[in-house]
Structure 1
């Protein structure tokens, strides 16, 4: 009498571990490759919006005109702070969207949400040390300019890793996809005219 064997019970697919904000933001500094691999194909709009607003506020606090306005009218100064933060968030998302669009034109196959939101997160996460120094020190001081150089290089390297992984592009195409946006952002934000 033939013996029938039943197929082995199927094991449920392991659900990916929840990517907490602090692990994402700070993990980019001490284990960037693992974090970018763990966050692949995940949209992180909440973390992107939070970092954009936080860094926009920090950047506004570093401007002397904000404190001059604060001495005249704190309410107007806070309104300017809020407007500046929102504008920075929108500009960040446009920067990420442009990076995604260029990567797709170069043959990439990544999704819009993960690419755009992760690009914003890594851009601002890598810029946090420079912003923290810039809030307390003069913009043209040696520590601020040194931090700007280091964080610009680190942020560009992270952006290349992100695009290469998300869009499955060779390194040279990933560099081409991020170079224009990163150079423009570095020139306008990290080394603004008149800061030297």
Structure 2
């Protein structure tokens, strides 16, 4: 009489690998497509808040007014840095929310938290080289403006890839979803009036 083996219970699905901050932030530079695919449907609010506050602090350090205030009162200068970082955080979250809303209006089906938080992360990750250079060089210098141009283009590409993947939109609609706010952010942050 043949012996039939009992069916093996199906193995539980493996949990997705934890996406650590350093793999997310550095991975966007050397393997952006794979990182964005791995980060799909994940919320990264911690990394988004950290990068927004760090970028706000770096942006404040690059201003002559901060160092002038530092010579008068270091505590007031630090308060100004804290306020600037908080404004950057709020503005970044607003930027991510607007991007998500436009993508949904264009037919996208992505969720708010992954889209908005990842948008903030990629925006500030791509801007870090310019911010670092701006802390030690004049804002209108050639290296800073060149870094602003390169990182703006890179940030726009990352944003299109993000919206295309998160919301399952064609490339042209993904570009439309990010174009207005990316252009506004580039003009106001990377090439502010008076920086020439």
**TM-score tier after normalising by the smaller chain length:** over 0.9
Deviation for aligned residue 1:5: 5.8
Distance 2:70 2:133 in 1: 21
Aligned: 1:108 with 2:108: yes
- 2:166 — aligned with what? 166
Count of residues in Structure 1 that have an aligned counterpart in Structure 2: 196
Give TM-score scaled by structure 1 length: 0.97
| RMSD after superposition | 1.1
Moved over 6 A (4+): 1-4
- TM (norm. structure 2) is 0.97
Partner of 1:77: 77
Aligned to 2:128: 128
Residue 4 of structure 1: how far off its partner (Å): 6.2
Q: Unaligned regions of 5+ residues in structure 1, if any?
A: none
The secondary structure found in structure 2 opposite 1:129 is helix
Distance 2:23 2:2 in 1: 55
Question: How far did residue 9 of structure 1 move?
Answer: 1.7
Q: How many angstroms does 1:84 deviate by? A: 0.4
Q: Equivalent residue of 1:172, what SS? A: helix
Per-residue CA deviations over 1:97-144 (Å, capped at 9, x if unaligned) read 000000000000000000000000000000000000001000000000
In structure 1, the partner of 2:66 is 66
Provide the C-alpha distance between the structure 1 equivalents of 2:6 and 2:166, rounded to a whole number of angstroms.
Answer: 40
Where structure 2 has 5 or more consecutive residues not aligned to the other structure, the ranges are: none
In the TM superposition, what is the alpha-carbon distance from 1:8 to its structure 2 partner?
A: 3.0
